[in-house]
Chains A and B, each alone.
Chain A
Amino acid sequence: MVDSKQQWKAWLYLSPAIAILLVFTVWPIFNTVRMSLLEGYSGLKAAAGMTFEFGLGNFQKVIEYRRFLQCLQNTALLCVLTVPVSTLLALLIAVALNSIKPLQKILQTIFFLPYVTNSIAIGMVFAAMFNIVGSFYGTENEIIVTAGIINNVIEFFGGKPVNWINYGSTYVANITVMVVYIVWNALPFKILVLLGGLQSINKQYYDAAKVDGTPRRRVFARITVPLLSPMLAYVIITGFIGGFKEYTSIVGIFGEQMGPPDDAGRLNTMVGFIYDALSTNSQGRASAAALILFGIILAVTLFNNNVIKKHTHY
């Protein structure tokens, strides 16, 4: 029996949350769909009393926009490059951490450290590490030459310094810097989840394998990875979701111009595209782009879920 006193009490307790959610979560969902379907919708023009025709024009415009394809390519590329690398590295580190006793706690803490950072602030540190001050190829009156610590290390090992983020740098170099930074940033969460998963695996499986004299690699492939697969699935899916929303890490390294000084916007992402549209008061276009982003995230998540389900042992 549901007594009526509990009924109204429950709604009373929920009322602040529901009120805020209605205004700032539920209404935006409907409104975003509405704005995306009104051709060329703009908040400013709407306030001035202009009306808009119903149609799919915003979506068409977004897709045909050259900058949008660039943003989509950047976002997808960063996802495809960073998720496998960070997952694999995190798996290796978690397995290694799980197999040691002394120093385990302190190393675990060190590996978690990048999580408690401000991605804009530490992005500025990475920018400093990759930055070149002055012309590296040495014109005569150029005295200041700091190749940047990363280039110093490359030179130390006999390599040639690379123009990573400065004027005239290549797209490949820019993306490489972003991959390094994003992987560094993504490791802590993945290690934490995977290590938690490893520690909950029943030790009996390993004891049984030991009795059978199973080689290490086989134990890893046949016991550790399958039993860890739900956790792996989780970090891969959240990795892709986070990857498609990449934005602040790029602002951290390249600043608001989202690219090297000679090619602003070169590294812009889907989220950056939405904010750009919003700042020019093109809410229709921003909404269409946001819905496309949501669609992509949903599709990738469902795809991952399907692939993973086939290979996961729950």
Chain B
Amino acid sequence: MDKRVMKAKNMQQASLRSRTGKLTVQFFTYLFLIVMALIVLFPFYWMIISSLKTLEEYRLNVPTFWPKRIMFSNYAEAFTTANLGDLFVNTMIVGVSSTLLSLIITVLSAFAFARLEFKGRDTLFTLLLATMMIPGELFTITNYTTVTQLNWMNTYTVLVVPFLVSVFYIFLLRQNFLQIPNELYLAAKVDGTSDIKYLWKVMVPLALPTLISITILKMMGAWNSYMWPRLVANDEAHRLITNGLRNAFTTTSGDVNYPVQMAAVALVSAPLFLVFIFLRKYIMAGVSRSGIKG
């Protein structure tokens, strides 16, 4: 055979081999990802189908993977057992007020650090960043005493005020503000625009994605906070949703009415998922942005 033909044939074979090789790699990549995705999703699936089963069906020796009789009444029972309505209202009050106040404080501080010149600015900023390394529990011990002395126990104030300032959010927003050209600020000054107006009309709209990320993370924080509320405001009138859930279903092992418990868990998880579905972009941006701080 001609050498050239042989070479061409070899190359063809090689490319065919590499193509089938590529296909197998692709197949196993997808297989791996899909299996992992199913494992990740399984607890959610199990939560939902368990929440719809009757107690008898849940206790079957051989589990069913789809409820025979769909029991929406579990949800009604969960809602009243855990008093989810009140807990939801409390959590929203704390979440919304702390988010609004926190946004104002964060915007003002980030603006000062990004745009204004004052003595000791960089030292102060470094000191603030250094506090991020300290575990929060270290603050809790003293703050517990402080809020007792302030007579803030069992109020909304105690759930809102101590966490209004997040150094991380100030840092995040300052980085964002720094990207906005200083010329805009100088031009606004020449026009005689006040700082507040400039912040509101220029900086805030330009930094909106970061502000939305902060809002969502802060709201999620209120929704998921557990330890501090349990210490300082665990009374009926101010209890937040995570504590309420844990208090209503204290036993986790043994003979528990799991369908109702799972319905309560699903109800508590649902708002988080809704927010995630609609605002996924902002959440993922906010979370991954924290990668800068390293």
A contacts, CB < 8 Å to B:
2, 6-7, 9-11, 13-14, 16-17, 20-21, 23-29, 31-32, 35, 43, 89, 92-93, 96-97, 99-100, 103, 107, 109-129, 131-134, 144-147, 149, 152, 165-167, 184, 187, 189, 192-193, 196, 216, 230-231, 233-234, 237-238, 244-245, 247-248, 251, 253-256, 260-261, 271, 274-275, 278-279, 283, 286-287, 290-291, 293-294, 297-298, 301
Asked whether A93 lies within 8 Å of B33 as measured between CB atoms, the reply is: yes
Asked whether A298 lies within 8 Å of B283 as measured between CB atoms, the reply is: no
B79 contacts across to A, CB distance below 8 A: none
Q: Which of B105, B140, B143, B252 contacts A16 (CB 8 A)?
A: B105
Q: Which residues of B, 128-184, contact A by the 8 Å Cβ criterion?
A: 128, 131, 133-146, 148, 161-165, 167, 170
Asked whether B223 lies within 8 Å of A107 as measured between CB atoms, the reply is: no
B195 contacts across to A, CB distance below 8 A: 9
A233 contacts across to B, CB distance below 8 A: 294
* Interface size band for B: 35 or more
Give per-residue flags for B254-268: 1 if the beta carbon is below 8 A from chain A beta carbons, else 0.
111010011001001
Cα(A277)–Cα(B243), bound, Å: 20
Q: Which residues of B, 204-225, contact A by the 8 Å Cβ criterion?
A: 220, 223-224
A255 contacts across to B, CB distance below 8 A: 246, 250-252
Chain B, residue nearest A43 (CB): B145
Contacts A2-B117, A2-B119, A13-B111 hold; do A121 and B269 have CB atoms under 8 A apart?
yes
Cα(A133)–Cα(B253), bound, Å: 8
B148 contacts across to A, CB distance below 8 A: 43
Contacts A14-B108, A125-B46, A193-B291 hold; do A118 and B142 have CB atoms under 8 A apart?
no
Cα(A294)–Cα(B36), bound, Å: 35
Cα(A27)–Cα(B272), bound, Å: 34
Q: Which of A10, A25, A117 contacts B139 (CB 8 A)?
A: A25
Contacts A10-B121, A133-B59 hold; do A113 and B276 have CB atoms under 8 A apart?
yes
Cα(A140)–Cα(B135), bound, Å: 52
Q: Which of B33, B108, B250 contacts A97 (CB 8 A)?
A: B33
B contacts, CB < 8 Å to A:
25-26, 29-30, 32-34, 36-37, 40-41, 43-44, 46-47, 50, 58-63, 104-106, 108-109, 111-113, 116-119, 121, 128, 131, 133-146, 148, 161-165, 167, 170, 195, 220, 223-224, 226-227, 231, 242, 245-246, 249-256, 258, 261-262, 265, 268-269, 272-273, 275-276, 280, 283-284, 287-288, 291, 294
Nearest CB on B from A144, distance (A) = 5
A298 contacts across to B, CB distance below 8 A: 133
Cα(A271)–Cα(B139), bound, Å: 12
Asked whether B58 lies within 8 Å of A124 as measured between CB atoms, the reply is: no
A107 contacts across to B, CB distance below 8 A: 33-34, 37
**9 intermolecular pairs with C-beta atoms under 8 Å apart:** A7-B118, A17-B165, A100-B33, A113-B44, A122-B47, A122-B265, A145-B59, A253-B252, A294-B135
